[in-house]
Structure 1
Amino acid sequence: MASHSRALVTGASAGIGRSYAEHLARTGCALVLVARRRDRLDELASQLRDAHGVEVEVLPADLADPAGVATVAERLAAEPAIDLLINNAGYAARGMVAELDPAALADMIQVNVVALAQLSHAAMEAMRALGRGRIVNVSSGTVFAAFAGNAGYGASKNFVMAFTRTMQVEAEGTGVEVQLLIPGVIATDFHAVAGNDLARFPAERVMQADDLVVASLRALEMGEPVCIPSLPDVSTWDAYVEAEAACWANASRDKPASRYHGA
């Protein structure tokens, strides 16, 4: 398991974030736990201190509120230094585009896109100054699919993927490592909050949060910049990147392709 001295985990009170906190605490990593509800954070912090003897800071913050994002960004810039950021907070507000609640869409974009980008900025700035650190940004397997009712959430997670991959390019030579984590269906309360029934997914498609987190932390050890935990062969991702490169090579030419020279 990757060794870190102090990690900040967003969305830490439940699901994937809680699993990260528990696994990191077992390695002796000090923690800064971020979520909206102080009572849940206090309960988790007490459990982790008692079980593992680690230092745990509790930082209640609502990332749907710019003031909450600013509070977390300030902690990322402060001492003691954070050497691992788990940018996990996020949720799905789903619905057909013609029927979406504009306020719910805006709130989701604030958490999934704006907060993640601003915390990535704060962490990257602080870690680059130190010449070390790691950032894990959590996307979603839905980036690879287009289906009705997922336009807003899917687009927000496509932002995470594109933003994180560019961060990886910019991090080269700085001592900062950036992981893009792309989970599939994970057994957490995320689905109930989004109005879905986890039971409708075949069991072979549903991963436990602990297994996801172990894969992510192992990928950090292995130096894998993109972690798709259930992908059998990383060459599949390589082929995806190669297909992108072929599109990019031909995205800007002086003339349209021959098929557009109509008869």
Structure 2
Amino acid sequence: MLPTVLITGASSGIGATYAERFARRGHDLILVARDKSRLENVAARLRAESNVAVDVLPADLTRPAALSALETRLRDDVRIGILINNAGMPQAGSFVDQTAEGIERLITLNTTALTRLAAAIAPRFAQSGHGAIVNIGSVVGFAPEFGMSIYGATKAFVLFLSQGLNVELSPKGVYVQAVLPASTGTELWERAGIDVNTLPEVMDVGELVDAALVGFDRRELVTIPPLHVSGRWDALEGARQGLMSDLRQAHAAERYRSPVRAGAATSLTL
């Protein structure tokens, strides 16, 4: 029997497209988002098209009670074998335009909720020896130049978390995937106050999810659908590993040593 797939942010865009694709594969679904009516519309269509069971869970994951209830469902419902951590929100305006409340909400949804949901289901997956966690990040996590400092930082967190979870969970049979889209044709841009038609290149959401699912089926750790030269990622990873090998921690690097006064004795060595 195929595992049930729980998808957050499932009322539109990437989440709704994941729901459609997994329904076509014959998976039952649990769809989570704030907008109940839109969720119900997606669910009704998928039940009719694919003859699968679809549960709807309206929830604002920035609210503690809603997040706690979903954690309980993930821990207790043994049918759930795949978690698609897709819910997220963009950053509207520059860093100096942000309010304390807006910062809190963005970080809560993009990082805290995602982490807590993964943490809720991971112990059950590890115990059973199977299951998959898919975290939706962004290439903006590589690009502080884009000026979306908070959003980009949350997406850098998603990549790091996914890599760390892979180290811990893959030996126990749990698959973790980080999917890093670039500009994709979803409502995210409108919510950020950006006209998507002004962007130079935008990927269709169906193409994005289909590519992500190719990576899922191949069991990739990091899937970057818009990256045409895969060696770029390999080179980045190689450079990171080289950096780690060069971090000799017992002493500061020579360039950070305090200047030595003329005639003073020194015994600083590496």
State the TM-score, normalizing by the size of structure 1: 0.93
Instruction: Give the distance between the partners of 1:172 and 1:260, measured in 2 at CA.
Output: 39
Unpaired runs of 5+ residues, structure 2, are: 261-270
SS for the counterpart of 1:108 is: helix
Q: Which protein has greater RCO, CA pairs closer than 8 Å, 6+ apart?
A: 1
* Aligned twin of 2:62: 64
In the TM superposition, 1:135-154 aligns within 5 A as 135-147=133-145, 149-154=147-152
Residues 61 and 71 in structure 1, CA contact (< 8 A), matched pair in contact too? no
1:250 maps to 2:243? no
Name structure 1 gaps, 5 residues minimum: none
In 2, distance between residues paired with 1:40 and 1:213? 20
The 1:201/1:148 distance shift into structure 2, 3 A limit, reads closer
2: distance between equivalents of 1:114 and 1:6? Answer: 23
Aligned length: 259
Residue type of the alignment partner of 2:28: A
What SS does structure 1 have at the residue aligned with 2:228?
coil
- AA aligned to 1:185 is S
Identity %: 37
**Partner residue in 1 for 2:106:** 108
C-alpha separation in 1, matches of 2:172 and 2:57: 28
Maintained 8 Å contact 1:94/1:151: no
Deviations 1:189-245 (A, max 9, x none): 10000111111111xx21111111111111111121110012123222121112112
For 2:240 and 2:2, locate their aligned partners in 1 and report how far apart those are by CA, in whole Å. Answer: 34
Report what 1:96 is aligned to. Answer: 94
Secondary structure of residue in 2 paired with 1:147: helix
1:249 and 1:117 map into 2 onto residues whose CA distance is 29
Question: Which runs of structure 2 are paired with 1:140-179 in the superposition (5 Å)?
Answer: 140-147=138-145, 149-179=147-177
1: distance between equivalents of 2:99 and 2:145?
18
1:8–1:84 CA contact under 8 A, matched in 2: yes
Give the Cα separation in 1 of the matches to 2:247 and 2:205: 39
Instruction: In structure 1, give the amino acid aligned to 2:103.
Output: L
Could you tell me how far 1:56 is from its partner in structure 2? Answer: 0.5
Q: What is the 5 A alignment of 1:123-138?
A: 123-138=121-136
CA contact 2:92–2:191 (8 Å) conserved in 1: no
2:243 maps to a residue whose letter is C
Q: 1:213 maps to what in 2?
A: 209
Contact 1:34 1:61 (8 Å CA) reproduced: yes
State the distance in 1 between where 2:206 and 2:239 align.
32
How many angstroms does 1:252 deviate by? 4.3
Residue 100 of structure 1 and its aligned partner are, at CA, apart by 1.5
TM-score normalized by structure 2?
A: 0.91
Structure 1 partner of 2:228: 232
The corresponding residue for 2:267 is none
Q: Structure 2 residue aligned with 1:87, among 51, 71, 85?
A: 85
Task: Give the direction of change, closer, same or farther, for the CA distance of 1:236–1:4 in structure 2 (3 Å limit).
Answer: farther
- What is the CA deviation profile of residues 142-191 of structure 1, one whole-angstrom value per residue up to 9, with x for unaligned ones? 01111364111111111111111100000122111000100000001100
Aligned-partner residue type, residue 223 of structure 2: C
Q: Which shifted more, 19-28 or 65-74?
A: 65-74
Indicate the SS of the match to 2:70: helix
CA distance in 1, matches of 2:177, 2:2: 15
Query: Contact 2:4–2:80 (CA<8 Å) still a contact in 1?
Result: yes
Q: Shift of the alpha carbon at 1:21?
A: 0.4
- Which residue of 2 is the match for residue 200 of structure 1? 198
1:8-27 equivalences in 2 (<5 Å): 8-27=6-25
Of 48-57 and 240-249, more deviation after overlay is shown by: 240-249
- 1:226–1:29: structure 2 CA closer, same or farther, 3 Å change rule? same
